[in-house]
Amino acid sequence: MLATVCEKSYAAEARYSNFYAGGDISWSSDGQYFYCLNGASVHQVAVQTSQILQSFGVASNSSTSTADSKKPVELDNIDVEEDTITCFAISHEHLVTAHRSGLLRLWEIATGKLVKLWKAQHKGPVIRVEFSPCGGIICTSGGADATLRLWDYSNNSCVGALKDFPGPAWLLVFHPNVLRREIYAVCADNTIYVWNYQTKKLLHKMRGHISMVTGLSFKNTEADCNEIVTVSRDKVVIVWELEEQKLESKQLKVLPLYEELEGVIFADEGRKIIAASGSGKLLEVDGKTWRIRELLSQTDFQISRLLNCRELKQLALITSEQNILLYDAENLSPIKQLVGNNDEILDMCFMGDNDRYLAVATNSKHFKLYDTERDMNCQLIVGHTDTVMSLAASQNLLISVGKDCSVRLWRLRHDQDCSLEPLMQQANCHTSTIGCVAMTHNGATGFASVSQDGSMKVWQLARDKQDRNAYSFNLRYAALSHDKEVNCVAYAPNNKLLATASQDKTAKIWLSDSNSLQGVLRGHTRGVWSVRFSPVDQIVLTSSSDCTLRLWSLSNFACLKRFDQECTVLRAEFLDHGKFILSAASDGLLKLWNIKTNTCLQSLDEHNDRIWALAVSGRSNRFFYTGGADSKLIRFGDVTQATRNEALDKRQATLEQEQTLHSLLHAQKQLHKAFVLALTLDKPKASYDIINHFVRDRDEDGLRQLVDQLNVDQRVALLQHVKAWTTNSRHSQVGNLILKHLIGDALHDPKAGFYNNGNMVEVLTPYVQRHFKRLTELNKELAFLEFIVKCM
């Protein structure tokens, strides 16, 4: 039994899911975390590992504080289950979220608990919220009114409302020095209004931009800092100087950058200005000479935000595809990339030495390259003009194909981690979308591609003899392989055979050197999604929409075995040198099959939608990655040995406890300890003997103490033993005696509903009634016997 349970086992080791869906995003002051808005939650994401550490939101936090339980009566009727978050802000200790229902929620970052809940009192949802530098004041701006409200959440009060501007405020910024007590609001008329939020006095009106202001930054955090830089989508940078005595502001410099700007910061202690354009450029302005220099040009990305971490001296560019690009602020060298939103994961494959890198194709024209040894550091690979559908790799080379009907060849760069260099591309390789590509094993000498038009093309890959860094590929032959869309193509381990799978319900075996058809695998009643050769045997594995997996013989192309699942099987791979099969289905379940015994060893329920991609490490066979329509990228590791050791340790502990129980019962000592052991080990016979010992000695006090020492779980276990006893009339007396104590205690305890776990009372009632009826009849017979004796 133990060997069967531990035959093969996998468990999820890491999960990489979507954590950013656009909108607000903040960087902690120490640079260790990003706080990202994702619908109805704000996720705290570790920069180093890209893992979600905790989430703040109604749906993601079931625990509520006492402040939430004491909320006003007028908030009881508000539906908060689907209360999406419109914006948020962070301080050193707290996070505040503004919800579409008009509520503001204050969370404690360290514990993730809800601290306070109140109504924002704006007309319409809050569109901007910000903490003061000290963290004690919160400023909010509503979407349908011209009012800024200031909240002192520690005293549960609104300390003021600022109304002298045409709202709403699209950007709120406090002066970084707490002594200034100033707040800057960018309003609908593209004017920047400055108030002293303590005196509620309007100090400045900064007019100069003719389009929406998207960024505002202070030169430093000193109290005498009066120099500010702003950018706008009018393609202009303006440097302002505030004159405190005259309550005026003047423009020191106006610089046209000819790019729609999305963010700005002061860098190098205020000596430089860095602005980010929506087209993907970073521009630097010298604070003395006002010379403009282009630092970075990412023409394939659209930048939506620019963040700065002063402590680490790093910049973060947020793209329109919800990717986060980290750069060193001094030399603009790339540090790390985080993927905030993956969309659907369509395909993936390993490449590099020891399968270090994982290439992932999502529903995008860019595919991603993850470094599995460096906390899944990601690099976006740009080149295709339409969605990338399939990837195939052999050592340091990778082939990518997609909807643009082109084939592109890439190679790992040795001078830079997690980077690919393009080697060659060829357009119009097929007349329709290329759905799958496969490369030869044990060295890249060729590859095969299949298309939705039913065609298959086999290509020869060659390395230039003169220039060893140059590659080329040429078409060897083309064939109309199937009548319908071809879903998959795969090479045999010796590269002599090719297999294709199609929606025409068949899979076909071909000679790889020529377009000679060797056999057709018929038997599936619906389209075939994947096909794989066994790494050790002369068999082929197919998966289909008819909810089956089939093993076929290469000698006579007959079906050898069939494995049934509940829904469409999209992918299947051999594991552990062909001993096991791993299948991925449309219901999000992964199943591990033993080929020899035809049994399902394990079901892994980590995905909640179709699993399109499955990549098994060919070097070690110790781990694999999965991805699908739920955008989750999950790493599974082999925990067979750990599970076996855990089971052995558990068995060893059980044997020791059984030996202890046997010794205690034999010596008739420490019966209280023996009774608890009997309940833990689920030994109804031993627990009955212990209770019967007290019954025979008429020790009712001792029996009462025996039951009173039990906790909730032990009492439930005792009820299970009572159920076993009451099935036999010989043990009914002891069983009813224990029921008297347990049920009697439950009647005095209103929280004792756990006693009826699994309808225990309903199960015991017929037995108790039967024993009661039997005893009643016995009493009648004894009464008649006594009457007869007295009459004699």
Q: Write out pLDDT tens, residues 75-93.
A: 344 444 568 999 999 999 9
Q: Which residue has the tokens 């992932």?
A: 360
| pLDDT tier at 746, thresholds 50, 70, 90 | low
Residue 361 falls within a domain, yes or no?
no
Confidence of residue 67 (pLDDT cuts 50, 70, 90): very low
Binned at pLDDT 50, 70 and 90, residue 72 comes out as very low
Amino acid present at 763: V
How many Å apart are CA 723 and CA 732, to the nearest integer? Answer: 10
Angle 640-667/671-680 helices, nearest 10 degrees? 150
72 to 63, 69, 118, 119: CA distances (angstroms) = 18, 9, 8, 10
Measuring CA to CA, which residue among 551, 625, 623 is closest to residue 584? Answer: 625
Q: Is the pLDDT of residue 757 over 70?
A: no
Residue 556 has pLDDT above 70, yes or no: yes
Confidence of residue 758 (pLDDT cuts 50, 70, 90): low
Question: What number is the average pLDDT over the span 31-43?
Answer: 93
Q: What is the pLDDT of residue 82?
A: 66
**What's the predicted TM-score (pTM) here?**
0.78
Joined tokens for residue 251 = 């423009």
- Of the candidates 463, 349, 435, 346, the one whose C-alpha atom is nearest the C-alpha of residue 395 is 349
Residue 585, Ramachandran bin (φ over 0: left; ψ between -120 and 50: alpha; else beta) = beta
- Of the listed ranges 325-339, 400-414, 477-491, the least confidently predicted one is 325-339
Q: Is residue 747 part of a domain?
A: yes
pLDDT score, position 76: 40
Residues 562 and 488 in one domain: no
- Provide long-range contacts, Cβ within 8 A and 24+ apart, for 166-169: 167/141, 167/142, 168/127, 168/128, 168/141, 168/142, 168/143, 168/144, 169/128, 169/141
Please give the pLDDT value at position 77: 42
Q: Is 272 exposed, middle or buried (0-12, 13-18, 19+ CB in 10 A)?
A: middle
Asked if 418 and 466 sit in the same domain, the reply is yes
Specify whether the CB–CB gap between 607 and 628 falls below 8 A.
Answer: yes
Amino acid 756: pLDDT: 55
Q: How many domains does the chain have?
A: 4
Is there a domain that residue 695 lies in? yes
Residue 2's pLDDT is 42
Q: How does DSSP assign 429-479, residue by residue?
A: SSSS-EEEEEE-SSS-SEEEEEETTSEEEEEEEEE-SS-TT-EEEEEEEEE
Tell me what the mean pLDDT of segment 255-277 comes to: 91
In a domain, 740, yes or no: yes
Residue 214, number of CB atoms within 10 A of its CB: 25
With a cut of 80, say whether residue 371 has pLDDT above it.
yes
Residue 437 maps to a domain: yes
> What percentage of residues in the chain have a pLDDT greater than 90?
48
User: Does the structure show a pLDDT above 60 at 1?
Assistant: no
- Give the pLDDT band (50/70/90) at residue 171: very high
Distant-in-sequence, close-in-space partners of 276: CB < 8 Å, separation ≥ 6: 215, 261, 262, 263, 264, 282, 283, 303, 305, 306, 317
The domain spanning residue 495 has which CATH number? Answer: 2.130.10.10
- Across the range 224-244, mean pLDDT stands at 90
Whether 508 and 547 share a structural domain: no
Residue 156 pLDDT: 81
Q: Can you state the angle between helices 684-696 and 700-708, rounded to 10 degrees?
A: 150
Is 657 in the same domain as 769? yes
How many percent of the chain have pLDDT more than 70? Answer: 91
Tell me what pLDDT residue 745 has. Answer: 60
Lowest mean pLDDT among 251-255, 272-276, 724-728: 724-728
Question: Would you say residue 557 lies in a domain?
Answer: yes
Q: Is the pLDDT of residue 465 over 90?
A: no
- Are 574 and 515 contained in the same domain? no
Assess whether 514 and 436 both reside in one domain: yes
Residue 575's Cβ-count burial label (10 Å; 0-12, 13-18, 19+) is buried
pLDDT score at 64: 36
What whole-number distance in Å separates Cα of residue 24 and Cα of residue 763? 56
The answer as to whether 180 is a domain residue is no
Summarised one tens digit per residue, pLDDT across range 729-739 is 676 677 677 77
Examine the fold and report which residue of 610, 632, 652 is the final residue of a domain before the chain moves on: 610
Q: Is residue 510 domain-shared with residue 404, that is, in the same domain?
A: yes
> Is the separation of the CB atoms in 180 and 195 below 8 Å?
no
Question: 613-634, pLDDT tens digit by residue?
Answer: 999 988 777 889 999 999 999 9
pLDDT (0 to 100) of residue 448: 94
pLDDT of residue 73: 35
Residue 468: predicted pLDDT = 66
What rounded mean pLDDT belongs to the chain?
86
Q: Which of 508-512, 646-650, 722-726 is predicted least confidently?
A: 722-726
Residues 559 and 653 in one domain: no
- Residue 13 has a CB neighbour count (10 Å cut-off) of 12
Please indicate, yes or no, whether residues 398 and 504 belong to a single structural domain of this protein: yes
pLDDT computed for residue 602 by the predictor:
92
DSSP letter string, 295-328: EEE-TT--EEEEEEETTTTEEEEEETTSEEEEEE
- 681 and 743 housed in the same domain: yes
Parent domain of 591: 535-610
Residue 736 resides in a domain: yes
Indicate the residue among 464, 495, 522 that finishes a domain: 522
Is residue 74 pLDDT above 50, yes or no? no
Distance CA 734, CA 741 (A): 11
From 471, 493, 522, the end of a domain falls on 522
